[in-house]
Structure 1
Amino acid sequence: MAWIVTPFGALMVLLILRDVFHTLWHPTRHGGLSRLVMRGMWRLSAHRGARWRPAGLAGPLGMVMVVALWALTVAVGWGLVYWPHMPEGFSYAAGLDPTHHASPVDALYVSLVTLATLGLGDIAPATGWLRVLAPLEALVGFALLSATVAWNLGIYPALARRRALALRLSHVRRSRADARALDSDGGAAILDGLASALATATVDFLQYAESYYFHDADEDTALPRQLGHALGLADQAEEARHPDVRLSASVLRRALEDLATVLDARFLRAGGGPEGVFAAYAEDHGHPWEPGGPPPNGGDRRS
């Protein structure tokens, strides 16, 4: 039995470590367990009525579930490595009957204690190679803790940058900026700043794809709600007389196209141009799509 159970447990551990690696340090389009869990929570939230997704629970709960699944799978995997070698491969504290403490539950207990680096010592590896494996599991436990902290430190700043971009677009929209106002050095500077922020948001979606599954209920900080206005700004500025404004508008247009390409390839599969992709993005996040252009009578488009 050991030749089946032990390699299977080791494979479980390696799969989780691979998932952590691809989630944090080498994000790929196909992702792994973390991407599947986050996407599953997002799809589930779409069928729970109007109160679930706007509360912003899908993303945070998805992250909690991913971390819990990482830890549980590693603990079970290492427990399967230990179990076939109990009780003869372990030493037991006085008062513990080895024959009564060699079940899968006991192996899982040893794995959890080691993974959490508690070091209780009532059941400990005794043979050579098992004594090497136990510290390795403790290192994996420390790595999982570090990975969880790094994940949070990466995703939440990315969310803040995305929300700041949306708020900046909302400021421009509410400032009643039209084509004439944009046809100036100040207009070119505004467009350059928006293009730079859009490029940062695009990289964030590539590096922290799980950030897509966080919902922003406030329309002023919801990027899906504001992207239509960004397209409208690019359209207006491309007709400007000022050459710097036209150049900035072209850069802004390329930044919007790059963002649309990433959103479509990784999340939406909507096809079409940027406007169609951004409309699908807004729909997926529960926001109405508003085509580009200045608000009627220079006012807000808020519903």
Structure 2
Amino acid sequence: MKWLVSLCGAGLVLFALRDLFHTLWHPTRHGGLSRLVMSVLWRTARRLRARRRVVGLVGPLAMVSVVSMWAATVVLGWAVIYWPHMPGAFTFARDLPTAREPALLDSVYLSLVTVATLGLGDIAPAAGWLRLASPLEALIGFALLTATVSWVLEIYPALTRRRCLAVRLALLRDTAPTPQQLDNTAGALLLESLASDVVRVRVDFTQFAEAYYFHDGEDRASLAVMVGYADVLARHGQSATRTDVRLAASLLAGALRDLAAVLDQRFLRTGASPPKVFVAYAADHGRSHAHP
């Protein structure tokens, strides 16, 4: 019976590690419980009255909630592993009577101290297998800390790329280039560079799905608002007389279709055409779609 309880604890630890792996390191970033936590927080914030202000906190709050969930699950899992063997398989400091606290509380305390790599030493494993398992928990705690730092450092460059593309589209919309002004080498280079930027954002939504739940602030920095103007530019380019401009416009149109497909499959699930997906994307972020 003791080993069955310990195996249940090991299952909790493996569940947390699997979710962490799929959220941070899997190529497609299909985190299970972490994605559920983020989407629930996003939908809840959208229903609140103070929408713009509250939604702006969803992304950071979701990341903190997910990391806290991983840490709590790991701590609880290792506590369940220790619990059936407490206190017999452990040694206690001289001034710490073994009967003072319940075995479960001692197990949670030991797990929390170990995963935080504090190593206070007032409770130490005595059984051979526990002396190997306890340092393993410390390694998992260290990995969780470094993974969290890496996650934060990875997500903000992705947000910067998205916002830079939005500001660039806002500037182009202010300039309002005509189809004739795009019908030259400069126009071809412009459309091609926009296609590259859209592809980067599309990859970011695949690899950093949590970026979707971050608010972009002002409308000019919001891709949800400005992405529709990229479609306008693509249509202008496709009506050009020069073949290089038409090719670059086709590349931009294809990149936009890809981006719409990723947004729809992973977040919106409308099953609609790309223009309608972009309208739904803007609405999901509490914005209105930009018009030329």
1:33-54, Cα deviation, whole Å (9 max, x unpaired): 1111111110110111134556
CA distance in 2, matches of 1:208, 1:30: 10
Residue identity matched to 1:217: G
* 2-structure distance, mates of 1:186, 1:91: 75
Contact 1:53 1:215 in 2 (8 A): no
Structure 2, unpaired ranges of 5+: none
CA RMSD, Structure 1 to Structure 2 (Å): 1.4
Looking at structure 2, the residues matched to 27 and 46 of structure 1 have their Cα atoms a distance apart, in angstroms, of 29
Asked whether the equivalents of residues 19 and 34 of structure 2 are also in contact (C-alpha less than 8 Å), the reply is: yes
Question: Normalising by structure 1, what TM-score?
Answer: 0.93
Judge conservation of contact 2:45–2:55 (CA < 8 Å) in 1: no
Structure 1 distance, partners of 2:179, 2:71, is: 55
Give the equivalent residue in structure 2 for 1:71.
71
SS in 2 for 1:124: strand
Letter in 1 for 2:269: R
**Identity percentage over the alignment?**
55
Q: Report if aligned partners of 1:55, 1:217 keep a CA contact under 8 Å in 2.
A: no
Alignment of 1:175-254 (within 5 A): 175-254=175-254
Letter in 1 for 2:49: G
Q: TM-score, normalised by structure 2?
A: 0.97
**CA distance in structure 2 between the partners assigned to 1:269 and 1:29 by the alignment:** 18
8 Å contact from structure 2 (residues 22, 30) kept in 1: no
Shift of 1:102: 4.5
Matching residue of 1:276: 276
Spell out the pairing of 1:1-303 with structure 2 (5 A cutoff). 1-28=1-28, 30-52=30-52, 56-291=56-291, 294=292
2:71 aligns to what SS in structure 1? helix
Contact (CA 8 Å) 1:13, 1:74: kept in 2 or not? Answer: yes
One-letter amino acid matched to 1:165? L
Provide the rounded CA distance (Å) in 1 between the counterparts of 2:226 and 2:52: 22
Distance across 2 between alignment mates of 1:45 and 1:52: 9
Q: Which amino acid in the other structure matches residue 90 of structure 1? A: F
8 A Cα contact 1:59 1:215, kept in partner? yes
Amino acid at match of 1:89: A
Q: How far did residue 175 of structure 1 move?
A: 1.5
Deviation at 1:243, TM superposition (A): 1.4
2:186 is paired with a residue whose SS is helix
Aligned amino acid, residue 236 of structure 1:
H
C-alpha separation between the residues in 1 aligned to 2:227 and 2:47? 25
Q: Where does structure 1 lack aligned partners over 5 or more consecutive residues?
A: 295-303
Work out whether residues 54 and 217 of structure 1, in 8 Å CA contact, stay in contact via their aligned partners in 2. Answer: no
Question: Which letter does structure 2 place at the counterpart of 1:227?
Answer: V
Q: Is the alpha carbon distance of 1:228 and 1:54 closer, same or farther for their aligned partners in structure 2, counting shifts above 3 Å? A: farther
Corresponding residue pairs, total:
292
Letter in 2 for 1:110: L
Deviates more, 1:191-200 or 1:234-243: 234-243
